[in-house]
Amino acid sequence: MREAAAVTEIGGTRSPVAHALAPGREAERRDAFPHTKRPLPWFLAGFAAMVFFVPINATVLKVNVGVDSHPDRLAVIVLVLAWLWCGGDQRALLRTRRSKLFVTAAIAYLAISITSLLLNVEQVANLGEFQFAEKQFALLVSFLVVGWFALTALRFEDLRGFASYLIGLAVMVAIGMIVERRTGYNVFYEWSSAILRPIATVEPSPTSLVRSGVEGRINIVGPTLHPLAATAMLMMVMPFALVRMVDNASRRSWCLNATALALMLFAAVETERKTAVVVPVVVVIYFACYRPRQMLRLLPLGLVVLVGLVHFASPGTLGTVLNLGAATKSSSTIHREGDFEAVVPDLLKHPVLGRGYGSVNVEQASEFHVNDNEYVDEVRAVGILGLLAYGWMILAPLALARSAIRKRGPTVASLTLAASAGCLAFLVVSALFDVMGFTEVPYLFFLMAVMTTIAAAGPEGNVVPSRELVRRLAARRPHATAAAEAAGTG
């Protein structure tokens, strides 16, 4: 067993540190989320609930909390304070066996973003874009802080329960979106406005059942500002339900997760965005690379369900996706072709580090072309070097997952497969719209990347806080002394 192999042995006997850790293994299994009394996982769970239920970008606090007054900024401050108060600062990253690949990639992206802004600070200030850049940079730091908090708050044993929690959140969002599609009532905006009225104001929901625009689409947004953002959130959680169907632990588990998966797909398709079909197909192919036999067994049923859901929710959507000729001539495709043309001048002028992170204010439509592609936005803002760092940050969890899925035990492999598939969904949607402009989606990506990192390391990657380790050693010292005296007497 890997857990047994992880115990340090010296001269045929366990070291004091290993002895102190051994009793904690079973305790960690019993103390797993949601049955844990540890506060940090619950703070993270609360933050996740806010991301899924509160329209962050449409909500403004009545108190100033710094650079921006959206509720997630206040929530991030609360996470930092909780991390310090509850001993999070005692968890040394260098002591864990968890891979540093994603952490290194995230730090590299942050460093390049800072450098790009500093090198262009004079131009950004002269054009009056510095305040917007400052807000965008603060948002990036918030993403990283949440990732760091999750990395220190969660143990391997927490992942299964936390995955179930995310599935539950996504199912509730899916049900809310289905109701929104049928009635025009957006429960997330309406309830947030009512509950948060004493401390915040919530803008009216952009929900619209009236078809408008060139393609005559409705606007179903859930807790976000755009249908694509709501769809992306559901697609990133969907793999956790899918992997449980593939594992097929019991009939009850299969039925529950199949229902959850169907609700997420149905709600996503209700937005009438091709993303709701494209991303699941990519995720299924990814699963098939690691679990070909299980996916082949699910394929007939999956095709029937997917085609049925798409046809019932949005007749004609599947035909549009499969009709490559029509897809290449659609207004959204033509608009995306214009994205590349719009970025060329900035790319030629600032090829390496771009014009400065956060300096592209899409709200100024007269000056900036709105790109439906995050990779194009990255090239413009942080240049080719920044684009490579952004891609590395997304691909790092996928690279890390490969070995764990193939070589580790079934629990580690399944959790790693599902979490890394969520990162793959983010990789795909980054090519379909400007994901970093919609706060909920990057938050969810950083959570998925961290869950992949924790899952791939297995239980050996758990980090015992320094003061907890000292406490265990101190508790063992009297027993060790007594044993030594008894041995000497004998």
pTM for the model stands at 0.86
Looking at the predicted structure, is the pLDDT value of residue 317 above 60?
no
pLDDT in tens, 185-234: 999 999 999 999 999 999 999 999 988 766 678 899 999 999 999 999 99
Whether 21 is in a domain gets the answer no
Whether 368 is in a domain gets the answer yes
Report the C-alpha gap between 263 and 279 in whole angstroms. Answer: 15
How far is CA 438 from each of CA 143, 231, 269, 405, rounded to the nearest angstrom? 12, 12, 19, 31
Looking at the predicted structure, is the pLDDT value of residue 474 above 60?
yes
Q: At 12, is the pLDDT very low, low, confident or very high (cuts 50, 70, 90)?
A: very low
Whether 109 is in a domain gets the answer yes
The range of the structural domain enclosing residue 226 comes to 103-182+209-458
357 CB-near residues (< 8 Å, 6+ apart): 113, 114, 116, 117, 133, 136, 137, 140, 381, 382, 386
Strand partners, 208: 219
Whether 314 is in a domain gets the answer yes
Q: At 340, is the pLDDT very low, low, confident or very high (cuts 50, 70, 90)?
A: low
Q: Give the pLDDT of residue 364.
A: 56
Distance of alpha carbon 444 from the chain centroid: 2
Tokens of 413: 């492999």
Q: At 476, is the pLDDT very low, low, confident or very high (cuts 50, 70, 90)?
A: low
Is the separation of the CB atoms in 180 and 189 below 8 Å?
no
Report the C-alpha gap between 196 and 233 in whole angstroms. Answer: 23
| Mean pLDDT, rounded, of the chain | 82
Q: At 20, is the pLDDT very low, low, confident or very high (cuts 50, 70, 90)?
A: very low
Quick one: which of 175, 197, 201 has its CA closest to 187? 175
Whether 164 is in a domain gets the answer yes
Q: At 34, is the pLDDT very low, low, confident or very high (cuts 50, 70, 90)?
A: very high
Domain count, the chain: 1
Quick one: which of 429, 431, 451 has its CA closest to 440? 429
For 65, which DSSP code?
-
Report the C-alpha gap between 233 and 221 in whole angstroms. Answer: 11
Whether 228 is in a domain gets the answer yes
Q: Identity (one letter) of the amino acid at 477?
A: R
For the chain, percent of residues with pLDDT exceeding 90: 51
Q: At 283, is the pLDDT very low, low, confident or very high (cuts 50, 70, 90)?
A: very high
b/e per residue 82-98 (b: at least 16 CB within 10 A)? bbeebbbebbeeeebeb
Q: Give the pLDDT of residue 338.
A: 53
Q: Give the pLDDT of residue 125.
A: 80
Report the C-alpha gap between 377 and 127 in whole angstroms. Answer: 18
Q: Identity (one letter) of the amino acid at 332?
A: S
Q: Pick the residue with more confidence: 62 or 329? A: 62
Report the C-alpha gap between 425 and 432 in whole angstroms. Answer: 11
| Alpha helices per DSSP H over 31-158 | 39-53, 71-85, 101-119, 121-126, 130-153
pLDDT in tens, 352-370: 998 889 877 665 554 555 6
Whether 98 is in a domain gets the answer no
| C-beta atoms surrounding 115 within 10 Å | 18
Whether 302 is in a domain gets the answer yes
